[in-house]
Amino acid sequence: MRTVLVLGLDPFGETVALTLAKRGVEVIAVDRDEEALQRVRDHVALVFVADVRDRGSLKEICEREIDLAVVSLGGQVEPSVLATLLLKEFEVPQVLACAKNDDHEKVLRKVGANRVVQPVHDSAERIALALASKNLVEFVLVGEDYAIIETPVPESFVGKTLREIGLRHRFHVTVIAVKRAVVNQDGESTEDVSAPDADAALAADETLLIIGRTKDLEKFQRR
C-alpha cells in the first residue's frame, strides 16, 4: 500500500487527502488547524497537529516510510518552500507542491519539488487519481475526460503481445507508444520511442504510453 503525506488541508489538500483515502491509499494528514484535521480524521490513516516549518516535528513524521508528499498550504510561499526543502532533506522520494503562480513554481522546483501544480488550473480530484495509480511514471491530462499515462510494462504482460492482451477490448484504452532504454554508439544511454507493434512481445524493461478516458485508465490501474 502506498503512503502519501499531505501537508496542509486547504481545499486542494483536503480534496487530495480524501480522494486518495477513498482509493485505498494510506494518507497521513498534517495541519496546524485542529478543525481542518477533524474533517478528515475518520477517513485517513493518521493526523498530526503541527507547523510544517518546524524541523523537529516534520522530521519525526517523516521517520515513517512515505512514498510521496503533497505540500498544499494555500499559496503561502515561505512555508511551502521551507516544507519542500525539509522533505527533500528527509529523503522523501517524491514531493508534489502547490504554487500560487509561475514565480512561486520556479522557487519550489529550485528547492527540489519533483512536481509543481497550480490549483487554480489543476483539479485536485484528477491529480489525486494520478497519485493513487500504482506503478505510474507519468500522468498527463488531455482535456476534461482524457489523459495519457506512462507506466512500466506490468509483470503479467511481459512476453505477451498487445494483440493477446487486448487492452482496447478489456479496458477501452489504447497504447500509443512503447519506450525502451538503448545504448548509442558513444556508450550513452538514451530512450527509444516507437509506435506499438501489436504482434511484438513486450519486455520487462519497456514502458507503455496509454491514452484513454480517465475513468477507464483508473479501471486499468485497478486491474
**Same domain membership, residue 195 and residue 123:** no
Contact 143, 113 (CB under 8 A): no
**Same domain membership, residue 119 and residue 25:** yes
Task: Indicate the pLDDT class of residue 209, thresholds 50, 70 and 90.
Answer: confident
Q: What is the CATH number of the domain that holds 160?
A: 3.30.70.1450
- Tell me which of 99-108, 164-173, 182-191, 209-218 is least confident: 182-191
Q: What is the CATH number of the domain that holds 14?
A: 3.40.50.720
Tell me the per-residue pLDDT of 107-152, one tens digit each, with 9 for 90 and over: 898 888 998 988 866 677 777 766 776 555 455 555 556 777 888 9
Q: How far apart are CA 38 and CA 31, in angstroms?
A: 10
Task: Indicate the pLDDT class of residue 188, thresholds 50, 70 and 90.
Answer: low
**Same domain membership, residue 82 and residue 109:** yes
At 73 the pLDDT is 92
Q: How far apart are CA 21 and CA 122, in angstroms?
A: 19
**Same domain membership, residue 153 and residue 128:** no
Question: Which run of H or of E encompasses 208?
Answer: strand 206-213
- Tell me which of 19-23, 34-38, 142-146 is least confident: 142-146
User: How many domains would you assign to the chain?
Assistant: 2
Domain limits for position 82: 3-132
- Tell me which of 37-51, 179-193, 197-211 is least confident: 179-193
Percent of the chain with pLDDT over 70: 87
Average pLDDT over the chain, rounded to whole?
85
**Same domain membership, residue 30 and residue 98:** yes
Residue at which a domain ends, from 110, 132, 154: 132
The candidate with the shortest Cα–Cα distance to 176, out of 162, 155, 160, is 162
| Phi–psi pair at 103, nearest 5 degrees | -65, -40
**Same domain membership, residue 42 and residue 16:** yes
C-alpha cell at 106: 520556479
Q: Strand order in 115-117's β-sheet?
A: 46-49, 26-31, 3-7, 68-71, 94-98, 115-117
Residue 126, number of CB atoms within 10 A of its CB: 15
At 220 the pLDDT is 86
**Same domain membership, residue 177 and residue 81:** no
